[in-house]
Amino acid sequence: MRKLDTKTIVVASHNAGKIREIADLIGPFGFSAKSAAELNFAEPDETGTTFEENATIKALASAEASGLPSLSDDSGLVIDALGGDPGVYTANWAETADGTRDFAMAMQKVETALEKVGAVKPEQRTARFVSVLCLAWPDGHTELFRGEVEGTVAWPPRGTAGFGYDPVFQPEGYETTFGEMSAEEKHGWKPGDAQALSHRARAFKIFVETCLDA
């Protein structure tokens, strides 16, 4: 495993919600970071069929464009009753004809699919959020970190916090959805904490323990 020996990195994302969450997570470590969106980098085509492949594509693109280590995230909602869908295509389910993303529509699409297969009881609606972080260096070296959190798909959506599918994901052991949680409740984590809740925070915890001298 390669250690990260600089505090200047690029957050390889154009997703405002992800950028905000990653900024919250890296903030306590004193990083100077700009996003690929701020730097006007082109969005690479995510042609991978796994979270790991797509995270690597994004991180390498920003590392090459910036000459700096770059941290990406590829994440999605994996629903058992739907055979793992939407999975790596989680964002695609929200795409509209005009090229924007409508997550209210995407959540309804998930609910319609679940109803179609008869998954109406909580025990039939098990799911997990997956996040894979990729740290890439300009020389092409990469490190991958995977975090998962188990839960169920709730309906109707609850809460307006977070982003994406957060209002319909209720993590195991909680009565609230990610959409009803504050940022601190959802993914707040710092060194010394035994556990992190969100998939992204769990992946970040492994990144810190692996690549930083924290």
Structure tokens, 194 = 């035994």
Has residue 214 got a pLDDT over 60? no
What pLDDT digit, counting tens, does each position of 143-171 carry?
A: 999 999 999 999 999 999 989 999 999 99
Residue 28 neighbours by CB distance under 10 Å: 13
Where does the pLDDT of residue 213 fall: very low under 50, low under 70, confident under 90, or very high at 90 and above? low
Question: What is the set of domains in the chain, with CATH numbers?
Answer: 8-211 (3.90.950.10)
Structure tokens, 59 = 């991180």
Has residue 131 got a pLDDT over 60? yes
Torsion angle, alpha carbons of 80, 84, 87, 93, to 10: -90
Least confident among 18-32, 94-108, 120-134: 18-32
Structure tokens, 5 = 């020996």
Active-site residue set:
74
Asked whether the beta carbons of 12 and 37 are under 8 A apart, the reply is no
156 prior amide bond cis, ω within 30? yes
176-188: average pLDDT: 90
Between the alpha carbon of residue 134 and those of residues 95, 98, 167, the distances in Å are 24, 30, 26
Q: Which own/partner pairs from 174-178 qualify as long-range (CB within 8 Å, at least 24 positions apart)?
A: 178/129
Structure tokens, 113 = 């699919």
- The model carries a pTM of 0.93
Residue 108 neighbours by CB distance under 10 Å: 15
